[in-house]
Structure 1
Amino acid sequence: MCIRDRAGSVPVVVARERSDGAVVAASQGASVILMDDGFQNSALIKDAALIVIDSHRGVGNGSVFPAGPLRAPLALQIARTDALVVVGDGSAADGIAAQIAAQGGTVLRARLVPQAASVEALRGRRVLAFAGIGDPARFVATLRASGVEVVEQRAFADHHPFTAEELAELAAAARRGGLTLVTTEKDLARIGRAAASLGVEIVTLAVTLAFDDEAALRLFLLDRLNRARAERLAARR
């Protein structure tokens, strides 16, 4: 399935198989394909592979699930990494960053910055924060760091499919406490039209990933794109 982003300019392909999605993207005129959560997928040959690590959580206990948070052994993943994005000002990812830098990879530092309009919309409100993302605690911490009064919080598993009963309970808790429900944009997208039937407002905290060195990010991407084009031109000769 091919849809458009909010600006209507970029094709967004949703496909069960990555290879099928790439075919659809190419048919829509795409010359560059950016995969979300495709690092471990082997269906497509990648010109650049990036991983993102939270600077405070790191990689947890370093074990592969179900014993830990990793999807594959760490050493194998580091070997295939071209660039690492470390989010936040913690030090839990410093060891991995050093390994990737030592093998010639690029290390980029970034932070989540709440959008001013979102923070202003929550100013003066007492909120019930809920999220079904990889690190709900970070979402709550971001709210509090922005000056938002978080009275209650609910944490759900990553990619959690909210049920009608769960949403009704959240709405009831918000009404009891005179609280505003606040969640992430990602969670609200999963909730979808069900939000309209709750009888209470759900506000989102929009954030932007701001890179400390945007020029380094651009140089990395341009280098990889130019290298890929050169390899394809050489293969056609």
Structure 2
Amino acid sequence: MSGALSAPSFWWRPPGPAAFALAPIGWLYGAITASRMARKPAYTAAVPVICVGNFTVGGTGKTPFALALAEGLRARGEKPVFLTRGYGGRLSGGPPVLLDPARHGPVEAGDEPLLLAADGPVVIAADRAAGARLAERLGSVILMDDGLQNPALAKTVSLALVDAASGIGNGFCLPAGPLRAPVERQLAHIDALVTIGDGTAASPVEAAARARGLPIFRASLDAREAHWLTGIRVLAFAGIGRPERFAQSLRAAGAEVVQTRFFGDHRAFTEREAQELLDRAAQEDLVLVTTAKDRVRLGNDRGDNALARLARQAKVLGVEMRPDDPQGLAAFLGARLSQGVSPHS
């Protein structure tokens, strides 16, 4: 599994020299992506497809939100199947594969697919249309984790998540900013906006969504069973899109975050890094705490190498996505699923 670089800090500040210098490239990148999004889908699945995406690169809670949707769908008698690219895993580049956690580890599958697999069947496929052909035989509805900008598969419902605290950053497209395409052009392809967490940074996006008549839902990513953290001195480590949010969750749970060590999103930990974390925790008598996604990437805890010892020693802060209006969200999805493919596809 390849490592990943951290997002440049200037993406999340008002536009400055670096952003303006890269803006011409960003304009071209955004125009190409927007044009690609407008293509006619190559395949329409035999079952409904719900896409959980976002406007930017980096984490907005897509995987926890997909898990929350799956729970709601099962309550309605549906059999959801997750469809994911499997970013960072070796399986991503090959034909569609039904993930088997007993055979496929983080090197093969990536981290997020393994989290999803604890909840239901997962198909890994970079070719979303080919993946849908396999997934449609396994359940009654496909939950596509990411893929908003991918036109290969027709979506029944497209949801775009935006972080209320960070919004869309500086509003520029890659590499000048975090956007994959201009927001207005992406809004044309979604059916609802979902704002995650607290803050006002997403207000401009919400205003643009309202102008288009799109429904807006809200949700929060909350720590689960975190009472054990109260008063605990912690070394927090993570390789996720927005690691600062992880540290904030630890503090909100009552932990004293003494040290942090953040890596790039989807980063594969090395033996040297694992040993460094173990040494730093031992020197200051700190409890190592990480995310479920990072724990998956550590692999199994058997053996005496540093990664195995870190896997045994690190505690996990569990989180879950909680929609503010689950009944309203369920009603919206039910109505859209009964209507068939979204007109935006």
* TM-score scaled by length of structure 1: 0.89
Question: Is 2:298–2:311's contact at 8 Å kept on the other side of the alignment?
Answer: no
Identity %: 46
Choose 41-50 or 189-198, whichever is displaced more: 189-198
CA-CA distance at 1:146 after TM superposition: 1.2
Question: Is 1:158 aligned to residue 265 of structure 2?
Answer: yes
Question: Is 2:168–2:179's contact at 8 Å kept on the other side of the alignment?
Answer: yes
Equivalent in the alignment of 1:222: 334
CA-CA distance at 1:13 after TM superposition: 0.9
Number of corresponding residues: 226
Post-superposition CA distance 1:124-178 (Å, at most 9, x none): 4211001111111111011101111111011222222222221121111111111
Question: Is 1:171–1:200's contact at 8 Å kept on the other side of the alignment?
Answer: no
Question: Is 2:295–2:316's contact at 8 Å kept on the other side of the alignment?
Answer: yes
Equivalent in the alignment of 1:70: 179
Structure 1 counterpart SS, 2:247: helix
Structure 2 counterpart SS, 1:167: helix
CA distance in 2, matches of 1:180, 1:110: 29
Post-superposition CA distance 1:25-76 (Å, at most 9, x none): 1232x22111111111111011111111111101001111111111122221
Post-superposition CA distance 1:74-100 (Å, at most 9, x none): 221111121111111211111111211
Structure 2 counterpart SS, 1:34: strand
Aligned residue among 134, 146, 155 for 2:253: 146
Question: Is 1:132 aligned to residue 244 of structure 2?
Answer: no
Structure 1 counterpart SS, 2:300: helix
Structure 2 counterpart SS, 1:112: strand
Structure 1 counterpart SS, 2:275: helix
Aligned residue among 206, 210, 232 for 2:318: 206
CA distance in 1, matches of 2:311, 2:270: 16
Question: Is 1:81–1:100's contact at 8 Å kept on the other side of the alignment?
Answer: no
Equivalent in the alignment of 1:182: 289
- Which of 1 and 2 has higher RCO (CA within 8 Å, sep 6+)? 2
Structure 1 counterpart SS, 2:141: coil
The residue type paired with residue 213 of structure 2 is: G
Post-superposition CA distance 1:179-228 (Å, at most 9, x none): 11111111111222264333861111111111111111101110111011
| 1:5-16 alignment runs, 5 A limit | 5-6=117-118, 10-16=120-126
| 1:86-105 alignment runs, 5 A limit | 86-105=195-214
CA pair 72-189 structure 1, distance change in 2 beyond 3 A = same
Equivalent in the alignment of 2:133: 23
Aligned residue among 23, 28, 38 for 2:147: 38
Structure 1 counterpart SS, 2:218: strand
Structure 2 counterpart SS, 1:151: strand
Q: Which runs of 5+ in 1 are unaligned?
A: 232-237
Equivalent in the alignment of 1:53: 162
CA pair 82-205 structure 1, distance change in 2 beyond 3 A = same
CA pair 218-200 structure 1, distance change in 2 beyond 3 A = closer
Deviating runs (4+, > 6 A) in structure 1? Answer: none
CA distance in 1, matches of 2:171, 2:298: 32
Equivalent in the alignment of 1:234: none
State the superposition RMSD in angstroms: 2.0
CA pair 44-128 structure 1, distance change in 2 beyond 3 A = same
Question: Is 1:2 aligned to residue 98 of structure 2?
Answer: yes
CA pair 201-105 structure 1, distance change in 2 beyond 3 A = same
